[in-house]
Chains A and B, each alone.
Chain A
Amino acid sequence: MTGPGMTSPGATPGGIRFDQVSVAYDGNTVLDRLDLTVEPGEVMALLGPSGSGKTTALRAVAGFVRPSSGRVFLGGRDVTDLPPHRRGIGMVVQQYALFPHMRVADNVAFGLKARKAPKSGIPQLVADALELVGMASYAGRYPRELSGGQQQRVAIARALATRPGVLLLDEPLSALDAQLRSGMLTELARLHRELPDVSILYVTHDQVEALTLADRIAVMDRARLQDCGTPQELYRSPRTEFTASFVGNANLLPVTVADGHVDFAGHQLTVSTGDVAAGVSATLCVRPHLVGLGAGPNALTGTVAEVQWRGSTHRLYVDVEGHRVKADLRELRETPAIGAPATLHFATEDAVLLPVGAADE
């Protein structure tokens, strides 16, 4: 692979910006005033359940859906009114969409020919792109002669051959089986290291893919952007109940804020309340793996409802005054009996106070 920084005709520099982008079909809002910026060279995951508007956002960048209001910028250029073929992007979709009537090399060369790249340079660019995804020896095959994973690599090579500044990946791994998927995740991470200037917008419903690959994650739900931040930020200090439950596992406990502590089902828990006024209802988010068994600060007493062995850990469900609290513990020598009393605890700094039902507004 020749070094990055080469541009070919029609390719845009990196960077995506959504400016108050809304999309509506038949009066149904599927994307609601999205504001989001993807920096050049950044991997942004759009994470959310189906129907959250994440794919619509990607298709608005590609030009396949027209925003009903708002603007889309690529590399600082307003592309809202440009047809897809003038946007200079690369795109990979779930079903690969390789052209069945063309060999692998012709598939990869398609974008270069369509953009009228100098003829003499095309073979080298095609070879480079196939080399990049490890498919150089398959140039003469037809797509139908390749496995799903191989087709996916070719689709990526095809999207990258024109050296776009922006790469759009729409659930690229969801058609692959679990083992191939983790291999491709590693591949994609490597690709991104080799192409440090390319902005990648990665649409997925899989939190593992998002946490593994993304520099930042934009969490979408019900047509809205719920939260945006680095994987660590979202995991450690989510801003909404939805983010907390969608990115990683979470105990979400209904609490009432008091002076310097919160009240939960008859327990006084010491957590940072920030500037939340006393008397306000809130949700306390504690990650199950940060919950310990036995007495300690912020102790919760209840009875064991269920114990699940998960190989290296035990998952404990403890009923505390009608609320079920999860704890992921390192494998226990002696598992507590169901119905036995149990005490759980967590550190003050491991709890995050969230506004109630931010996702349900």
Chain B
Amino acid sequence: MLVHSRAGKLAVRGVFLLLFVPLFAVPLLVIVAASVSTNWSGAFPSGVTTEHYAAATSGDSLKALTTSLVTAVSASLVALLVGGWAALAAASLRARGKRFLDMLFMLPVAVPSVVVGLAVLVAFSRPPVLLNGTRWIVILAHTVLVTAFAYQSVSAAARRLDPMYEQAAASLGARPSYVLWRVKLPLLLPSLTAAAGLCFALSMGELSATMMLYPPDWTPLPVRIFAATDRGSLFTGAAVAVVLMATTLLVLLAVSRIRTRASYR
């Protein structure tokens, strides 16, 4: 469209690949390659081994995986409930109330994650609620962080939903609760699952707030990766990172399968 000559197109594509591949594709490939290498001191890794994966899927690392999964799933579900509820409630409010809820539920996105971690740490290391040192403080922080994203995506979807469905249902005699349950939620299902996937991915990779809060018996994968690289075990770190990426991708894939099944048009 923009470049018409054959040579020009080739040149543009060449430059594109030269930028794109090393910047975006190579890093991910490097992590995957490192995770199966015994040593990497030259241009290419040397020796193939599965020993890092053995380490990454057993013992503490395996525990970190389940920790991450439990944290991400529970944070996503709670976030979806709270954020989605708030988004749907905001949709039926007047402009002022809507703006207030928007502001309130966007705030956790604007506040740095580290600060969210610090705030939660400060608040729950003292009475009346003592959560410091428990897994709950990690789950709580993750929930706060991803609720904002759930709110954002559900409210965007609710804005796009044509009010005619709601009105048609009301004209047929359906109470608001019946409309919500039988019409709005089913129509929003694709967006709800997308929001859930987003929350899950974010929680799986959350490091900033977690570093402030994690107790020794509740170390999620990102902390585990950091611990490994910090003490020099880069290859184990890479293997754990691959486990993290693979888990995230698998769950996102499953979610998008549900989403295509749930979209009607």
Contacts and interface: CB of A to CB of B under 8 A. Distances in A.
Q: Do chains A and B touch in the complex (CB under 8 A)?
A: yes
Contacts, number: 79
A334 B176 CA distance: 68
Interface in A76-124: 83-91, 93, 95, 97-101, 110-111, 114-115
B175 interface: yes
B264 A100 contact: yes
A162 interface: yes
Interface in B159-191: 162, 164-165, 167-176, 178-179, 182-183, 186-187
A144 B171 contact: no
A62 interface: yes
Interface in A130-183: 142, 144, 158-159, 162, 168
Given A85-B175, A142-B264, A110 B169 contact: yes
B265 interface: yes
Contact of A110 (B164, B176, B182, B265): B182
B265 A144 contact: yes
Chain B contact residues (Cβ within 8 angstroms of A): what range?
A: 20 to 34
A218 B178 CA distance: 35
Contact of A62 (B167, B179, B183, B186): B167
A67 interface: no
10 contacts: A10-B173, A84-B170, A85-B171, A85-B172, A97-B167, A100-B187, A100-B265, A101-B187, A114-B174, A168-B171
Given A144-B264, A144-B265, A93 B173 contact: no
A99 B173 contact: no
Provide the main secondary structure of the chain B interface. Answer: helix
B167 A101 contact: no
Contacts of A158: 172
A87 B170 CA distance: 9
Interface of B: 162, 164-165, 167-176, 178-179, 182-183, 186-187, 264-265
Interface string A50-90: 00000000000011100000000000000000011111111
Contacts of A63: 170-171
Given A63-B170, A97-B165, A99-B168, 6 more contacts: A62-B167, A64-B170, A85-B169, A86-B173, A97-B164, A110-B182
Nearest to A108: B172
Given A97-B164, A101-B264, A114 B171 contact: no
Residue in A10, A98, A99, A142 whose Cβ sees the most chain B Cβ within 10 Å: A99
A168 B169 CA distance: 14
Nearest to A63: B170
A93 B264 CA distance: 20
Contact of A93 (B164, B172, B183): B164
Contact of B172 (A64, A100, A101, A162): A162
Nearest to A61: B171
A10 B45 CA distance: 75
B252 to A, nearest CB: 23
- The 7 A-B residue pairs whose C-beta atoms are closest, nearest first, are A111-B172, A114-B174, A100-B264, A97-B168, A91-B171, A84-B170, A115-B173
B173 A114 contact: yes
A72 B41 CA distance: 83
Contact of B171 (A84, A95, A99, A142): A84
Interface string A1-19: 0000000001000000000
Contacts of B174: 85, 110-111, 114
Residue in A86, A93, A98, A110 whose Cβ sees the most chain B Cβ within 10 Å: A110
A85 B183 contact: no
Contacts of A115: 172-173
Given A99-B183, A110-B182, A90 B169 contact: no
B193 to A, nearest CB: 14
A100 B186 CA distance: 10
B264 A159 contact: no
A318 B187 CA distance: 59
Given A97-B165, A142-B264, A89 B171 contact: yes
A86 B171 CA distance: 8
A85 B170 contact: yes
Nearest to A114: B174
A84 B178 contact: no
Contacts of B171: 62-63, 84-85, 87, 89-91, 159, 168
Contacts of A100: 187, 264-265
A64 B165 CA distance: 13
Contacts of A95: 162, 164
A115 B182 CA distance: 13
A101 B173 contact: no
Given A91-B168, A142-B264, A85 B173 contact: yes
B171 to A, nearest CB: 4
Given A101-B264, A144-B265, A114 B164 contact: no
Contact of A101 (B168, B169, B186): B186
Contacts of B164: 93, 95, 97
A162 B167 CA distance: 16
A85 B186 CA distance: 20
Contacts of A142: 264
A114 B187 CA distance: 17
Contacts of B186: 99, 101
